[in-house]
A and B are shown apart, each in its own frame.
Chain A
Amino acid sequence: MKIKSEIKRRLLQIVAFGYSNPFLSNFPAGKIYKGSFKNFCNPGMNCYSCPAASLACPIGAMQAVSDSMNFSFSFYVVGIILAIGALCGRWVCGFLCPFGFLQDLIGKIPVPKFRLPKPFKYIKYIVLLVFVLILPAAVTNYMGIGKPTFCEYICPVGTLEGGIPLLSTHAELAGTIGHIFALKMTILVIVIAGCIFVKRFFCKVFCPLGAFYGLMNKISIYHMSLDKSMCVRCGMCAAVCDMDVDPVKELKSPECIRCGKCVSACPKKALKFSLHHRNNTLQ
């Protein structure tokens, strides 16, 4: 029996969500997993302060290294996401990212969906450059220690997966709630509301990891190709794309999460994904 590609994608998303968050029993006690898997980074966004999380968050880990007094850049974490990105680009976003999966579920709420104006997609590059790469390394105290600026002031994943569950199980933390948590809760509400009306709102606008993998779409080995001799310009591929990409115009768009919906929608089978560059296809 042939399983439809969208069902396969959902199954893989569930598996990825499962291996990213297997320690559900930590929720009631408000504990987090402390084992050796946390030496490694999750390929997608998943807060390491989430009680159920098994792996380190790459964006958090990148800042943890660069805001320390010993280092100002994390070769370890950037190396991991560079290798993954060069292999498959934003395929991680379409198939493996736990927060991407959550957004897909929120996006199922049946209300009218909207497209964002194009300039919004550039915000995530500013977030990556300023809040993840520059500020944690550049703004330091007298000991040379910085702050995980993206996590502290922006990340709605940490608020949802770490902040809320831990606050609800640790009464003593209530006293630490202040302006920063209010800011983060506001961002979380905006992101959830955004995801209801705009498909993958966080991925499109804010995600620094998506920004990094998006740039890797230009060079990744796993890529989409278009056989122009078969394409009849019907526009069905662009019409089904949640990320507002027209693959006929921009096959290696940094916005494409390689979900494959356009490939399935093409009536002429002109689009396909592969690891090999073929001479008869135009990339």
Chain B
Amino acid sequence: MKELLNKIRPGYAGIVLGILFVIYGVSRGEVSHVLNKAINICLECIGLG
């Protein structure tokens, strides 16, 4: 087990964790928030709100 853990490079673990985060984020509906913000001119985002 210890040997296996040593072999797992943190970079690969980061990629897997990132993908799991993306899947979880998509499953709970975050993407619609991203799209909604990105397709409407966000006045506060550009300092005008």
Contact = CB atoms under 8 A, between A and B. Distances in A.
Binding between chains A and B: yes
Nearest to B32: A39
Interface residues of A, number: 62
A83 to B, nearest CB: 3
A35 B35 CA distance: 9
A152 interface: yes
Range for the number of chain B residues in contact with chain A = 35 or more
A238 to B, nearest CB: 25
Interface string B18-49: 11111111101111011111111111111111
B49 to A, nearest CB: 7
A65 B34 contact: yes
B9 A56 contact: no
A78 interface: yes
Contacts of A33: 39
B25 A77 contact: yes
A221 B8 CA distance: 11
Interface in A206-224: 216, 218-221, 223
B14 A86 contact: yes
Interface stretch (A17-25, A68-76, A91-99): A68-76
Contact of B21 (A57, A76, A162, A163): A76
B14 A85 contact: yes
Contacts of B37: 48, 56, 60-61, 64
Contact of A162 (B20, B23, B46): B46
A68 B39 contact: no
A167 B48 contact: yes
15 contacts: A33-B39, A57-B38, A61-B38, A64-B34, A65-B30, A71-B28, A71-B30, A74-B25, A79-B25, A83-B19, A85-B18, A152-B45, A158-B45, A180-B48, A221-B11
Interface of A: 32-36, 38-39, 41, 47-49, 55-57, 60-61, 64-65, 68, 70-71, 74-87, 147-148, 151-153, 155, 158-159, 162-163, 166-167, 173, 176-177, 180-181, 183-185, 216, 218-221, 223, 277
Interface of B: 9-15, 17-26, 28-31, 33-49
